[in-house]
Each structure stands twice: as structure tokens, then as C-alpha cells.
Amino acid sequence: MKYVDEFRDTYKGEALLWQIEKLSHVIGKHIKIMEVCGGHTHSIFKYGIEEVLPKNIELIHGPGCPVCVMPKGRIDDAISIAQNNNVIFTTFGDAMRVPGSQTSLLQAKAQGADIRMVYSPLDCLQIAKENPHKEVVFFCIGFETTAPSTALTILQAAAENINNFSMFCNHVLVIPALKALLNNSDLQLDGFVGPGHVSVVIGTDPYEFISQYYHKPIVISGFEPLDILQSIWMLLRQLVDNRCEVENQYNRLVKPEGNTVALAAINEVFSVREYFEWRGLGDISDSGFKINSKYAQFDAEIKFNIPNIKVADHKACQCGEILKGVLKPQQCKVFGTACTPENPLGTCMVSSEGACAAYYKYAFKLKNKNSKIKTIN
């Protein structure tokens, strides 16, 4: 397949692995590299990248899954809105099974709430037009990657004067999360594989603080196996050369200035929250978007009374430690036993971008069948 097979070439992958092996020997020490995008985590497990890297290179799976970082309290808030009799609540599919403190959106739907899965926030506008006597609410989740589509939908609703439509906004920002991780003295990292999808929107310039202030290298990466391997090779080159720079492996899509049209829509519709709670990371300042006062009529947090209460995670679930990079999925006490994709205790096992779900799908089940993890082909 054109533009895909080129990035899955076995021979090029072997050549990159040979170069990575050489550089890892030059560095000598144990190297910890964090990827901060759920798409990267998915690809790493799918293609068995961890299995073929030199033993002194460890990949740490960070808080790059937007569904995974949602705290239980915000899920409870979403369910409380959905349970209003006059509400049609809409959401992306991967948020349906995320457990709140008592139930999930999927269970609330089974109990009678009108909850519908959509593929785009624009679908919600059509639902609102078809149901003028109902309040239609969209559950916004995602990093800067999905925020532009949310913003443009609100602008469209304003232009068409659709007043029975609102959004429960839970968009989060990647840069404050990276700062929180770098300020954690318990997590020692040598470099970052930077998020490709987010960077298409925000560009490469916002990451300069990582190299200039924290003196860590970062390489913005694509999502195919050769993208990730090349990004690791580029990081090792920086470590060998004693450099700390922002490099862009994904330059076929990512520009330094980002997507100016998308950023303009975000800046028009959203303002930054003073604090937002992240699962595992706690309250992080300036780390989430809220709908600004100009478009307050589309803010579900204003339209509806929500509990807005912080809720502790399940005692046995260690999603928080996994999202912080402190634990690997297989180190969780309930992984693969009490917690499975069919019966998840935590968010990391729910979303396809969650580290636990990816490991369970591509490594855990295969290992249990005495099969080898797939290499690049």
C-alpha cells in the first residue's frame, strides 16, 4: 500500500536496529525513553518494538491516552448529565465503557439513558436539529488533536443558532502534562518520543522548553514502525553527541508553526482552565480547555448541575502509576486477571490507546499461547 508499506519495510527496520544497537553500546548505560502518545504505545506493542530493542533501552509509556487520563469524577459528571430525562448524550465509542464510581455510560444507557455513540461532534448538530425539544450534549475528550473539531462544531452551532446543543468539555493539553512529568524527581528519563498527532496541530516550537530548561532531547515521531525506530535512533544520536534538541522525524506532516487554522479555531472558542485533574497526575495547572464566555450557551457545565466531586480510583487498579510511567501494564496486580478489556477496572484497559489494552491485545495473550510477538512486517 503506497505511503504505508514504505514505513514497514523489514530490511530498513533491520538496518535501523543495527544502528540503534551500535549507539546503545556507545552510550553504555540504561536508557529510558518515554513516548507520550497513545498511538505510539499502540504501535510499539503491535509491532513488538520493545522486544527487538537492545536490552539497555527501556520504553516508558506515558499519559498519552486522552480517555485514560480522565478521572472518575469527570466520568461521574458525564453520567449525571446523561441521566437527565430531557438529554440526548453523545460520545465517542471508547468513552462508553470507562468506569465511573458506580457505573459507566454503557451501563447507564442499558438502564434507560439516551446515550448515543457518534463519529464526529458534527453528528451531534444533526441530532440536535432532528430533536429540537431535547438537549443534545457532546462529551469532549482529547488532547489538542481533537480540540479543533470541537471548536469548529461550536462555531457552526453558533452560526446556525442551534440552542439545544452543548458540550461537556474535557480537552487536555500535552505541554503542562510533560512539565508535570519532568518535575517528578522519581521519574528519571533520558528523552521523549514526542506526540505526532498533537504536533500536527501545535507544531514543534512549544517543546523547546524541554531541551532548553530541562535539558532533555525530544523527537516528534510518526506512527509506523520505521517512524518510531528512526525516532529512537535520532534520540540516541543526540545522547551520543551530548545534544538536547527538538527534532522532527514526522516532518511529512508536522510543521514548526503547527496548523494555524486549527489553532485559530481553538483560540476563538476555548480558554485555559486554572486547574484540571488528571488520573494519576492529580491537579495540573493550565492543563485543560474550557469553553470561553463568548460561547457560554454551549457549555454543558453551565447548563446542568453536575456533582463535580473528586473520586478515588479503585484500590486494586494501578492505572495512575502506569500513566506516570512508574509501572508497566504487566506489573499491575490485577492485570489480565480481575482487569481485562471485557471487564476493565481502570481506563488503561478500556481505550485502544491505553497501555494495558495494547499490551493485553498484542503481547499478553500471545505470550500465554507461547507465541512470539510480531516483528516489523
Distances from the Cα of 284 to the Cαs of 124, 156, 181, 240, 354, in angstroms?
Answer: 30, 31, 11, 33, 21
Domain ranges of the chain: 67-309
Element of type H or E holding 303: helix 300-303
Per-residue DSSP letter, 2: T
Phi, psi dihedral angles at 92 (to 5 degrees): -70, 155
Contact by Cβ (8 Å): 46, 358: yes
Per-residue DSSP letter, 99: -
Name the CATH superfamily housing domain 67-309. HypD, alpha/beta domain 2 (3.40.50.11740)
Contact by Cβ (8 Å): 168, 138: yes
100: nearest Cα among 283, 302, 307: 307
pLDDT score, position 271 = 98
Query: 87-91 and 115-117: which strand pairing?
Result: parallel
pTM of the model: 0.91
DSSP 3-state helix, strand, coil percentages of the chain (rounded to 5)?
Answer: 45, 15, 40
The three cell numbers of residue 246 are 527538538
Beta strands in the chain (DSSP E): 31-35, 57-61, 87-91, 115-117, 135-142, 165-171, 191-194, 218-220, 246-248, 270-272, 275-278, 282-285, 289-291
Contact by Cβ (8 Å): 374, 46: yes
pLDDT score, position 274 = 95
pLDDT score, position 368 = 54
pLDDT score, position 372 = 40
Distances from the Cα of 123 to the Cαs of 49, 82, 163, 189, 288, in angstroms?
Answer: 37, 17, 15, 41, 24
Query: 282-285 and 246-248: which strand pairing?
Result: unpaired
pLDDT score, position 365 = 54
Distance CA 201, CA 196 (A): 9
pLDDT score, position 280 = 86
Quick one: residue 203, left, alpha or beta (phi over 0 = left, psi -120 to 50 = alpha)? left
pLDDT less than 70: residues of the chain: 1-2, 365-377
Distances from the Cα of 272 to the Cαs of 36, 113, 170, 182, 284, in angstroms?
Answer: 21, 31, 11, 21, 12
